[in-house]
Amino acid sequence: MFNLQPHRHRHFKISNDPDFVDKVQDIAGLYLSPPDHVVVLCLDEKMQVQALEKTQPTLPLELGSVEGVTPDYIHNGTTTLFAALDVATGKVLAQCQSRHRHQEFFSFLQQIDGTVPHHLDTHLIIDNYCTHKPSKVKE
């Protein structure tokens, strides 16, 4: 139908959502032809990103020698990265949080709301993760 070949991937699973095709068409339509006065943001989060720092500075690349990089890291814990890609401009809005709960996700939504000009509507494309489901977030 859409010239997709999911059978060529070993772990592909077709959604059993009866509205799946309509939802895909809506999302693709937003990406390819967003309405006027709309910002389309593709939003995702990465949990437990390791905050690493090299134990020694990187030595610069010089003629006849490779860049000197130590394999050792100082582990500074983990962080959660929230990011939203503006599909039209390629601009990324991002925020790091120490935890990954709906409160932190809501804080990121407030950052987006404060960044996007008020005369534009915002359309968010997000997955079904549990941090997106509380009523405060949906509002």
Residue where the block lists tokens 């939802």: 23
> In this predicted structure, what is the pLDDT of residue 12?
64
Is the pLDDT reported for residue 2 higher than 80?
no
> What is the identity of the amino acid at 9?
H
Q: What is the pTM of this model?
A: 0.67
Domain residue spans in the chain?
Answer: 40-55+71-139
Query: How far is the C-alpha of 106 from the C-alpha of 45, rounded, in Å?
Result: 12
Place of tokens 């120490």: 98
40-55+71-139, what's its fold? Answer: Nucleotidyltransferase; domain 5 (3.30.420)
pLDDT at residue 112 in the model: 93
For range 93-113, the mean pLDDT: 88
* Closest C-alpha among 102, 82, 99 to residue 41: 82
| pLDDT tens readout for residues 109-133 | 999 999 999 999 999 888 877 676 7
3-state secondary structure at position 115: helix
Q: What is the pLDDT of residue 75?
A: 73
Tokens representing residue 55 in the block: 């134990």
| 137 three-class SS | helix
Spell out a b/e string for 127-138, using b for 16 or more CB atoms within 10 Å of the CB, else e: eeeebbeeeeee
Q: Return d(Cα 18, Cα 126) in angstroms, integer.
A: 19
Please tell me which of 40-54, 69-83, 87-101 the model is most confident about, judged by mean pLDDT: 87-101
Non-local CB neighbours of 60 within 8 Å, separated by 6+ positions:
67, 68
Return the half-sphere exposure (C-beta side, CA atoms, 13 A cut-off) of residue 73.
7
Give the mean model confidence (pLDDT) for residues 85-104: 88
DSSP state of 13: -
Looking at residue 117, what is its pLDDT? Answer: 92
For the segment 17-62, what is each residue's pLDDT rounded down to a tens digit? Answer: 899 889 889 989 988 888 899 999 998 888 777 777 778 888 888 8
- The whole-number pLDDT of residue 9 equals 64
